[in-house]
Structure 1
Amino acid sequence: MKYTKATNYALHIMAYFVKHEGKDNLSLQPLASHMNISPTYMSKILTQLVKADLIQSAAGVNGGYSLRKPKTIISFYDVIQAIEGSGALFTCEMDENQACQIERVMREAEEKMVNHLKEKRIYDIV
């Protein structure tokens, strides 16, 4: 299983937000430069994080992005779900008329991983 590059960036971006929470709003251009990500790609990731209510944006001279949720409650799962969505990682295509035992095992594994990612907070690693 492999997450997209956007998820990798989003996790690092959120760690940066958590580390700098309470300071001035973070602007797109300096944030993109600091993370070495193109401003266009950074904007797409930030838009997804805004839609997930993890961060908020403000327009104007003192505008930029800031955390929307308390930094101590944002989990790895919250960020991953914002970028990847919530679909199952595995779906059985073989046993349409009966319960697929392979899918059952894969879903159990996915559930354990999801629970682990929900317990791990970005704040804990910063």
Structure 2
Amino acid sequence: MKLPASTEWVLHCASTLAQLEAGDTASTAQLALYFDLPAPYLAKQLKALVKSGLLSATPGPRGGFRLARPAAEITLLQIVESVDGASSPYVCAEIRQRGVGALPPEECEDTCVLARRMAEAHQAWRHSLAGTTLADILATLAPGTAARTRSRLAAAR
């Protein structure tokens, strides 16, 4: 499975916003500079997180983004699905029923074993991401990381 680069962007941005002090925000420009990303495209991705209720946005020159709820209530799956959707990346086109190797219809009444396995793998992936919150990610950071992040974001103003 290959996810777009923007998936990495929103995961890192959300993790970064989770390191801010309560009430603080970071602008698109700050986050774009912090990660060396194109601001217009990043803004589009951050707006998707606002639309899904994961981030809140404050307009104005001192505005920016912050988590819309506690880090312990935001899962990695929610972030990923906000920008990539929830559909499986695997689509079975039933090619086992085509070509010179086509199976007879009576052998294709059950779902293809490969489609079943791919669906199981997708569900396992979703379950893993659903079980990991931003708070879990923050708990793995080295001491001083959040303070360094806040300092570098402030310098990017």
Q: Normalization by structure 1: what TM-score? A: 0.90
The answer as to whether partners of 1:55 and 1:67 remain within 8 angstroms in 2 is yes
Aligned to 2:47: 47
The C-alpha deviation readout for 1:12-34, integer Å capped at 9, x for no partner, is: 00100111141422122122111
SS of the residue aligned with 1:90? Answer: coil
The answer as to whether partners of 1:55 and 1:68 remain within 8 angstroms in 2 is yes
Aligned to 2:136: 124
Map 1:73-84 to 2 at 5 A.
73-84=73-84
The answer as to whether partners of 2:57 and 2:63 remain within 8 angstroms in 1 is yes
Name the CA distance, whole Å, in 2 between partners of 1:61 and 1:36. 21
Per mean C-alpha deviation after superposition, the further-off stretch among 56-65 and 89-98 is: 89-98
Structure 1: which 5+ runs fail to align?
none
Name the CA distance, whole Å, in 2 between partners of 1:61 and 1:108. 47
Q: Which has the larger radius of gyration?
A: 2
Map 1:104-123 to 2 at 5 A.
104-123=116-135
The C-alpha deviation readout for 1:41-89, integer Å capped at 9, x for no partner, is: 2111111111111101121344211111211121111111111101112
Aligned to 2:16: 16
Deviation >6 Å, runs of 4+: none
The answer as to whether partners of 1:29 and 1:39 remain within 8 angstroms in 2 is yes
What percentage of aligned pairs have identical amino acids?
26
Name the CA distance, whole Å, in 1 between partners of 2:21 and 2:42. 19
Report the RMSD for the aligned CA atoms in angstroms: 1.7
Q: Does 1:102 align with 2:114?
A: yes
Q: Normalization by structure 2: what TM-score? A: 0.74
The answer as to whether partners of 1:7 and 1:83 remain within 8 angstroms in 2 is yes
Structure 2: which 5+ runs fail to align?
98-107, 139-157
Name the CA distance, whole Å, in 2 between partners of 1:68 and 1:77. 16
Aligned to 1:32: 32
Name the CA distance, whole Å, in 2 between partners of 1:100 and 1:4. 28
